[in-house]
Structure 1
Amino acid sequence: MYPLFFKFVLTRMDPERAHHLAFTVIRFLPSLGIGRLVHLFTRPRTDLAVNTLGLHFDSPFGVAAGFDKDGEAVIGLGQLGFGHVEVGTLTALSQPGNPTPRLFRLVADRAVINRMGFNNHGAAAAVDRLARVRAVRGRPVLGINIGKSRVTAVENATVDYLQSAKTLAVLADYLVVNVSSPNTPGLRGLQELDQLAPLLTAVKQAAGATPLLVKIAPDLADAEVARIATLAVSLGLDGIIATNTTISRTGLKTDAVTIAAAGAGGLSGAPLGARSLAVLHQIRAVVPDDFCVISVGGVDTAAQVAERLAAGATLVQGYTAFLYRGPLWALQINRGLDRLLAAR
């Protein structure tokens, strides 16, 4: 039913408006009185559970940052079957993001181009809401993704990240430093080792006992990926998230006119799959076995999630295929993983 709804209703709506419509339903799922009943249907089987970062994940499959920017739908997403929800990206200062339109579907590629620009209400505004989330029994694991405020100069980035980390680390099950979005000017330059090392060192100290990960771009050269992975281990970080969206437009099925009309921004979805998997292999080759690697990018099916896990991913995240698969996506992934495990 959802494919028909997507084809005849959602594709005729502005993509950002369609996202807000779906998001609102998920946000209010717990208060509609049916959320717990839904979760009885979607709850992952116990054999899918993963223990990492000192945490228990009911499923290895979770929601990537970007879907729930302000932490408003964590419980509803958990009731749909996701094992963890990474909220954000949150910034120290509230910001509206880039001008609209800023979200574009590439349906032929099962992909999306976005230039949202970290639109969120700021770290401080999320505190009370996330504290309430933490108090909910049976909630999914809560990750919090932080980024640089747009108005903050790159040379002052560490101070900006520290403000967010000091505000949010105590509320996070794990904290993520996002230095890889293409939609904030200068942000990806923070992946240079001479800038990244002091930034991560400072944030790690501010995070205290909260596990800390860094999220990297797929457009890094292979050698850069290896160097950052090695750096993360040497600094005592707890993991890496690979990868964010790409600025590449290579090999797309969508016509060039449509792609050009969408303009700049990060591409996510199926076309990112091969590169994301390759980056996963590169990271796993240089980090210890117990180092957490969260793979994200181009994941659509249970078989693809299983492929990432077999390639060394500790956990797997998705986002874009949610738009194409609909609200039962996590259920489909978890049940598919069950079948694949049973067939071994």
Structure 2
Amino acid sequence: MKTLYPLIRPLLFSMDAEKAHDTSLKMMKWMESSPFSGLMREKRVDDAFSLWGLDFPNRVGLAAGLDKNGACIDALGALGFGFVEVGTVTPRPQEGNPLPRLFRLKEANAIINRMGFNNHGVDQLVENVKASNFNGVLGINIGKNKDTPEENAVDDYIHCMNKVYEHADYITVNISSPNTPGLRNLQFGEALHNLLAAIKVRQGELATQHSKQVPVLVKIAPDLEHAEVEELAETFLTHNIDGIIATNTTSSRTGVEQLQHGNEAGGLSGRPLTEMSTDVLARLNKALKGNIPTIGVGGIHDGQSAVDKINAGASLVQIYSCFIYQGPALIEAAARAIKLARQ
């Protein structure tokens, strides 16, 4: 696929962005069970790392958002990733926001999306996970339905936890997408304390029920002031959260305002996010003082930007938007650079 992708990309980029996304998933799904499945397999960079009792073949994972329904886990797992995260999934299926809602900013190697947690619901995701043959580390990212009031958000997260716990190697609580109204309010104050307290109680109950300890991570936004990062770190330490993913997409448009689609509503991801995301990651790790592991994501576009996340304190990294632009070659470049930097 690494050599094939540069040939396929012009065709995909000639399509509407969301149509290209859907076509890519359908193509991968078909290929993984076809005589051409070998074309999907890439030699994985071996750089073993253990965290949360899990063994990661290397430190580069796929961020949530590409495979929201867990429909292509086997195909994505064959591309050389050290781990794969699927979702965001909600209790009930939902269509997401009106079309169009996904835009390429080609000059900036960036994407703006306002998808709105479009997915087939947690039950369908679980069925897809059960049907997969993936034997690597699998994260499942959970959220709330758009029409669930903020004060009832915890019910949606607990519902999803109950469904996915048995099938996940780790669970990510997404409270940082800018595309579900009010979701980012859950990152602060009493709302966050109440959510995390309930999640930790249920995590303990599920661990006993399934005789399996599944770490729970929280994904945060990059649009945070210094004091907000410190407050979040204190809250995460108070509730003994297992890990933090920093960061989600940004509402900022700095540097892309003049580009086509640059002022579309939604979350901006890709190369323009690199410095902002890494800065938040570094400040978060400083405030956590090494007590909670982090995953760095946001704008990784080459080996050095992946290493920069590790140098900012991340234990693992994830890619998505620049993977759309570069294909599997970016997975190898990032994993190899991290491995070499640690030698």
Superposed displacement of residue 238, structure 1: 0.4
For residues 33-52 of structure 1, the aligned pairs below 5 Å read 33-35=35-37, 38-39=40-41, 41-45=42-46, 48-52=47-51
Superposed displacement of residue 327, structure 1: 3.7
Q: Which of 136, 139, 162 is the aligned partner of 1:140?
A: 136
- Cα 1:29/1:233, change in 2 over 3 Å: farther
Contact map agreement 1:229 1:240 (CA 8 A) in 2: no
Q: Which of 147, 154, 168 is the aligned partner of 1:172?
A: 168
Distance 2:268 2:292 in 1: 27
Q: Which of 155, 160, 182 is the aligned partner of 1:159?
A: 155
Contact map agreement 2:114 2:179 (CA 8 A) in 1: yes
In structure 2, the partner of 1:11 is 13
- Is structure 2 residue 258 aligned with structure 1 residue 259? no
What whole-Å deviation, never above 9, does each CA across 1:120-173 have from its counterpart, x for those lacking one? 01112222221233xx3x622110111110111111111111111111122110
SS in 2 for 1:42: coil
Distance 1:247 1:255 in 2: 15
Distance 1:281 1:336 in 2: 19
SS in 2 for 1:89: strand
- Cα 1:33/1:329, change in 2 over 3 Å: farther
For residues 92-103 of structure 1, the aligned pairs below 5 Å read 92-103=91-102
Contact map agreement 1:68 1:87 (CA 8 A) in 2: yes
- Cα 1:38/1:67, change in 2 over 3 Å: closer
Contact map agreement 1:36 1:79 (CA 8 A) in 2: no
Distance 1:195 1:50 in 2: 34
In structure 2, the partner of 1:80 is 79
SS in 2 for 1:206: helix
Letter in 1 for 2:33: S
SS in 2 for 1:119: coil
Distance 2:255 2:299 in 1: 14
Contact map agreement 1:82 1:140 (CA 8 A) in 2: no
- Is structure 2 residue 206 aligned with structure 1 residue 212? no
In structure 2, the partner of 1:299 is 300
Superposed displacement of residue 258, structure 1: 3.4
- Is structure 2 residue 238 aligned with structure 1 residue 234? yes
In structure 1, the partner of 2:270 is 269
In structure 1, the partner of 2:27 is 25
Distance 1:340 1:32 in 2: 38
- Cα 1:100/1:232, change in 2 over 3 Å: same
SS in 1 for 2:131: helix
Letter in 1 for 2:222: P
- Is structure 2 residue 282 aligned with structure 1 residue 281? yes
Letter in 2 for 1:332: A
Distance 1:245 1:265 in 2: 9
Q: Which of 225, 241, 258 is the aligned partner of 2:229?
A: 225
For residues 313-332 of structure 1, the aligned pairs below 5 Å read 313-332=314-333
SS in 2 for 1:258: coil
Give unmatched runs, 5+ long, in structure 2: 205-212
Superposed displacement of residue 76, structure 1: 1.0
Distance 1:229 1:191 in 2: 11
Distance 1:256 1:141 in 2: 38
Contact map agreement 1:75 1:140 (CA 8 A) in 2: no
99-108 or 17-26, which moves further after superposition?
17-26
196-205 or 124-133, which moves further after superposition?
124-133
In structure 1, the partner of 2:335 is 334
Superposed displacement of residue 337, structure 1: 3.9
Distance 1:32 1:42 in 2: 19
Superposed displacement of residue 291, structure 1: 2.1
Superposed displacement of residue 289, structure 1: 2.5
92-101 or 22-31, which moves further after superposition?
22-31
Superposed displacement of residue 339, structure 1: 4.8
Letter in 2 for 1:13: M
Superposed displacement of residue 292, structure 1: 1.6
Taking structure 2 as the reference length, the TM-score comes to 0.91
- Cα 1:168/1:111, change in 2 over 3 Å: same
What CA RMSD, in Å, does the superposition of the two structures yield over aligned residues? 1.9
- Cα 1:269/1:130, change in 2 over 3 Å: same
Q: Which 4+ runs in 1 deviate beyond 6 A?
A: none
Taking structure 1 as the reference length, the TM-score comes to 0.91
Distance 2:122 2:179 in 1: 19
In structure 2, the partner of 1:150 is 146
Distance 1:337 1:308 in 2: 10
Distance 2:31 2:226 in 1: 42
Distance 1:305 1:75 in 2: 24
Distance 1:205 1:104 in 2: 40
Instruction: Give the number of aligned pairs.
Output: 332
